[in-house]
Chains A and B, each alone.
Chain A
Amino acid sequence: MAHTNHGEVLDIEFGNDHGSVKSYIHGFILSLVLTIIPFAVVSQHWFTTGVTYAIVAIFAVAQLCVQLVYFLHLSYKSSARWNLYVFLFTFLVVLIVILGSLWIMVNLNYFMMH
Chain B
Amino acid sequence: MSTTSVTAAHHHHHDTEATIVYGFWIYIMSDCILFASLFATFIVLHANTFGGPGPKELFSLPYVLVETFLLLASSFTYGLGLLSAFKQKQAQVIRFLLLTFILGLSFVLMEVNEFAHLVMEGHSWKSNAFLSSFFTLVGTHGFHVTMGLIWMLSMMIQVKRHGLVRITLRKLTTLSLFWHFLDIVWIFVFTIVYLMELI
Contact = CB atoms under 8 A, between A and B. Distances in A.
Which secondary structure dominates where chain B touches chain A?
helix
Contacts of A64: 184, 187-188
B72 A28 contact: yes
A interface, how many residues as a size bin?
35 or more
Given A21-B80, A24-B80, A6 B187 contact: no
Given A15-B18, A42-B195, A90 B32 contact: yes
Interface in A40-98: 42-43, 49, 52-53, 56-57, 59-60, 63-64, 67-68, 71-72, 82-83, 86-87, 89-90, 93-94, 97-98
A49 B10 contact: no
Interface of B: 6, 10, 14, 17-22, 25-26, 29-30, 32-33, 36-37, 39-41, 43-44, 61-62, 65, 68-69, 72-73, 75-76, 79-80, 82-83, 86-88, 164-166, 169-170, 173, 176-177, 180-181, 183-184, 187-188, 190-192, 195-196, 198-199
Given A14-B17, A24-B80, A89-B29, 6 more contacts: A4-B6, A12-B14, A15-B22, A21-B83, A39-B61, A102-B40
B68 A35 contact: yes
Interface string A91-110: 00110011001100100000
B69 A32 contact: yes
A9 B165 contact: yes
Nearest to B177: A72
A39 B195 contact: yes
